[in-house]
Amino acid sequence: MLALLSASVLLAVFGSLLFPGVGQGLAAHRLRGVLWAIAGVVSMLLILVSVWSLVATLVIRVASAIDAYRCLRRHTPPDHLASAAIALVIGAVGIGGSQYALEAFKIPSSSMYPTLIIGDHVYIDKLSVRWKPPERGEIIVFDQPCAKRVYIKRVIGVGGDTIEVRCSVVYINGTAVSTTLVKKDDEYKDHDETRGDWFTRAASRYRETIGAHAFDTFRDPEATERGDFPSR
């Protein structure tokens, strides 16, 4: 009986780790379970505001599991399935909503260095574009129709803009993008996907400002000195 009780308690605690509030519901703490479930959902939705909300999400899940264990020591699950079901439904709705609102990606290449590094994991907000179009300087994810692959790039131009590149300088509607040299002789680690090894690439580091966004970029030192004029 003791072994069965311990197994069921551990299962309920694990359930609270995945769906905050489930263990509290099984322990007949209905309001407590609902509050934990709401806290879990809110923390997931706050990822839309800041990626650091992931830390809050993990903390809430762990804290909910610990609190569930304390509650379950005085009650034998599953005597209160109805209360647990409420928290489970709230958690399931929250996870479903987060899947609709967020999508995770892993950075595979150095094309967005130094803003995004190879191996970085990022979460993309898929909802805000429904009421706010992307702005210049923002980073977006899109399907490249020719390559039929997902790309992650920075927005340079929006609808109606004229974009030109002259002598390695980007012009938006005839105005050059604000660019400042940060470090002429810089370098970064790149990855050869064909051979699978890492190597050091020389670069010049610049800081660019587009709209309200300032960011650093790497450029080939030789291309910077030569510009875009053809050479043999």
Q: Which two tokens stand for residue 79?
A: 């005597």
Q: Which residue has the tokens 């569930």?
A: 68
Q: φ and ψ at 122, to 5 degrees?
A: -125, 150
61 neighbors 20 (Cβ within 8 angstroms): yes
CA-to-CA distance for 12 and 1, rounded, in angstroms? 16
Neighbours of 37 (CB within 10 A): 27
Tell me the catalytic residues.
111, 153
Q: Which two tokens stand for residue 188?
A: 């970064």
Using CB atoms within 10 A of its CB, is residue 227 exposed (0-12), middle (13-18) or buried (19+)?
A: exposed
CA dihedral of 143, 148, 152, 156, whole degrees rounded to 10: -70
Q: Which two tokens stand for residue 108?
A: 């595979």
